[in-house]
């Protein structure tokens, strides 16, 4: 036999402490508990006429009269849907999402049932059948037992919104703050990151460089190699690669991310002048600056070598950045931007942004699934600000979009989600990648090299003054 409910207006009543026992009993018949605000959304009527659709409960059911909602109400006889708690006064409106901003700036819990700060007028006009959190609090775990358990302004795991994890950083006024991973570095150079570790180059106490790593969540620093002339570092998300310059030739080495100094493997030797290195899960690339050529690691029969060098692009001049998505290799060089098809070796090349005086900069590239991003600079001497970040279609380098014009070109550029991140002398900034827009500050810092992985941006912060120690910082981004 189907359970039927009378069509009644939704109402909320504040009860005195002495009346709480009877209120709880009434609530139990419907919700199994009385809300922390001492309110009861609706009381079932055993005398309701059979055939009343629960979807007709005004302000409580999805789909309105005779609606097709689904959720916590049982389906009534004669109806075509199961009712659920919905928005104030309108059965056609869905409940607000947990963690969203409400009209007065408060955070609504994400998921159907939200927590009311107090009872609504008994006439039911504009009332709400759920529980609504006061401004600044949220029900992030979806449990009515602890109500609005999260202070959004200070929760490091729900910072400003349910689910926003600061990844070890503090939450102040609803915003994630930078976390220092490493401090006291003598002369930090470059860095790369994956989901678990950050690998970076530091001069240490010698005249040569050291490759070190630190957990992405923070912790002890591990030295991988020492006293090496490291030129460039790259990661494919699993391994870390670096080029080493020698007196007459150099090498490419690699290690598994998270491994120690005893797990370093030689990839390629006798490179005349190794420069920039790049990698994707299937390929390793490097630039031989002396030969003005970009190579890819190919199959080899030499048991002493990991790979055989296969030329990908000749006569490139200097190379600043190598990025690959496994299908196309993108390279920035001396006033040239390249896109090389790895199957056919066909090349798309840009030496300027058509119709402007902008040319590719000798700087880092970034990419996402559909676009590649590059620094361009004005050819006109003294034209400041004259540094731009441009977006191009992959793989053709067509349809350039000038996203931003800034004073300083910097060594770094990364894309996470719908934002491009870069450094300026006074901090870390980001811009939307979808269309030209205002840049916004992410962190105030004397930021230099920057990288990104797994929802966080990492950068090297230079010390205040010549010879002052530098540090590595991170911040969670959304």
| Distance from C-alpha of 288 to C-alpha of 309, rounded to nearest angstrom | 11
- 266 within 8 A of 253, measured Cβ to Cβ: yes
Q: Which of 98, 90, 97, 31 is nearest to 63 (CA)?
A: 90
pLDDT of residue 57: 31
Cα-Cα end-to-end distance for the chain: 50
Residues in CB range of 97: below 8 A, 6 or more apart: 108, 109, 110, 111
| Distance from C-alpha of 422 to C-alpha of 430, rounded to nearest angstrom | 6
DSSP 414-437: EEETTEEEEEETTEEEEEESSS--
Task: Report cis status (omega within 30 of 0) of the bond before 457.
Answer: no
| Cross-strand pairs, 142 | none
Per-residue pLDDT of the chain (478 residues; tens, 9 = 90+): 444 433 434 333 333 343 444 434 434 433 444 444 444 444 444 444 334 443 333 333 333 333 333 333 233 333 333 333 333 333 343 434 444 434 333 333 333 333 333 333 333 333 333 478 999 999 999 998 999 999 999 999 999 999 999 999 999 999 999 999 999 988 788 899 999 999 999 976 556 789 999 999 999 999 999 877 898 999 999 999 999 987 778 999 999 999 988 899 998 888 989 999 999 998 999 999 887 899 999 876 776 667 888 999 987 778 999 999 999 999 998 889 999 999 999 999 998 887 788 889 888 999 999 999 999 988 775 545 678 999 999 999 999 999 999 988 877 899 999 999 999 989 999 999 999 988 999 999 988 889 999 999 999 998 876 678 899 999 999 9
- 322 within 8 A of 331, measured Cβ to Cβ: yes
| Cross-strand pairs, 441 | 429
| Distance from C-alpha of 264 to C-alpha of 422, rounded to nearest angstrom | 31
> Among all chains, which residue has been given the structure tokens 């590719």?
360
DSSP 151-198: ETTT-SSSSSSTT---TTS-EETTEE--EEEEEEESSEEEEEE-SSEE
| Distance from C-alpha of 448 to C-alpha of 451, rounded to nearest angstrom | 10
* Local structure of 15: helix, strand or coil: coil
Q: Which of 234, 243, 240 is nearest to 269 (CA)?
A: 243
> Among all chains, which residue has been given the structure tokens 């205040």?
464
pLDDT of residue 382: 52
> Among all chains, which residue has been given the structure tokens 């408060």?
106
Residues in CB range of 90: below 8 A, 6 or more apart: 59, 64
- 252 within 8 A of 271, measured Cβ to Cβ: yes
pLDDT of residue 473: 96
- 50 within 8 A of 78, measured Cβ to Cβ: yes
pLDDT of residue 301: 72
Residues in CB range of 208: below 8 A, 6 or more apart: 226, 227, 228, 229
pLDDT of residue 80: 38
| Distance from C-alpha of 416 to C-alpha of 288, rounded to nearest angstrom | 30
Q: Which of 324, 325, 254 is nearest to 295 (CA)?
A: 324
> Among all chains, which residue has been given the structure tokens 């419907």?
30
> Among all chains, which residue has been given the structure tokens 């979807």?
55
pTM beyond 0.75, yes or no? no
Q: How many CA atoms lie within 13 A of 74 on its CB side?
A: 13
């Amino acid at each position: 036999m189907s359970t039927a409910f009378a069509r009644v207006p939704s109402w909320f009543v504040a009860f005195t402490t002495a009346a709480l026992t009877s209120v709880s009993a009434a609530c139990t018949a419907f919700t199994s508990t009385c809300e922390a605000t001492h309110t009861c959304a609706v009381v079932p009527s055993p005398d309701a006429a059979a055939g009343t659709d629960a979807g007709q409960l005004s302000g409580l059911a999805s789909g309105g009269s005779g609606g097709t909602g689904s959720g916590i109400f049982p389906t009534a006889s004669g109806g075509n849907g199961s009712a659920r708690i919905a928005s104030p006064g309108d059965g056609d409106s869905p409940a607000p999402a947990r963690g969203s901003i409400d009209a007065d700036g408060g955070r609504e819990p994400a998921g159907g049932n939200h927590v009311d700060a107090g009872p609504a007028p008994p006439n039911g006009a504009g009332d709400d059948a759920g529980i609504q959190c006061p401004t600044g609090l949220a029900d992030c775990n979806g449990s009515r037992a602890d109500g609005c358990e999260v202070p959004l302004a200070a929760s490091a795991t729900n910072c400003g919104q349910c689910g926003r994890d600061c990844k070890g950083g503090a939450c102040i006024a609803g915003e994630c703050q930078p976390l220092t991973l490493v401090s006291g570095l003598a002369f930090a150079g470059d860095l790369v990151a994956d989901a678990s570790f950050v690998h970076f180059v530091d001069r240490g106490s010698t005249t040569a460089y050291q490759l070190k790593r630190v957990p992405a969540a923070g912790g002890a620093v591990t030295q991988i190699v020492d006293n090496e002339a490291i030129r460039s570092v790259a990661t494919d998300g699993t391994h870390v690669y670096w080029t080493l310059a020698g007196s007459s030739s150099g090498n490419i080495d690699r290690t598994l991310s998270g491994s120690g100094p005893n797990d370093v493997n030689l990839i390629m030797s006798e490179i005349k002048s190794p420069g920039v290195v790049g990698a994707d899960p299937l390929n390793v690339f490097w630039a031989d600056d002396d030969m003005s050529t970009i190579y890819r690691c190919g199959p080899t029969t030499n048991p002493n070598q990991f790979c055989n060098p296969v030329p990908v692009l000749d006569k490139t001049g200097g190379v600043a950045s190598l990025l690959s998505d496994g299908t196309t290799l993108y390279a920035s060089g001396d006033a040239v931007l390249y896109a090389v098809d790895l199957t056919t070796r066909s090349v798309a090349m840009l030496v300027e942004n058509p119709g402007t005086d902008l040319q590719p900069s000798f700087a880092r590239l970034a990419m996402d699934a559909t676009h590649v991003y590059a620094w361009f600079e004005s050819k006109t001497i003294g034209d400041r600000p004259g540094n731009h970040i441009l977006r191009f279609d992959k793989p053709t380098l067509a349809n350039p979009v000038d996203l931003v014009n800034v004073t300083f070109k910097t060594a770094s550029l990364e894309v996470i989600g719908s934002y491009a991140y870069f450094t300026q002398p006074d901090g870390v900034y980001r811009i939307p990648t979808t269309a030209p827009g205002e840049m916004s500050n992410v962190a105030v810092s004397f930021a230099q090299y920057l990288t990104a992985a797994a929802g966080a941006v990492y950068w090297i912060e230079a010390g205040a003054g010549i010879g002052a120690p530098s540090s590595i910082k991170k911040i969670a981004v959304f």
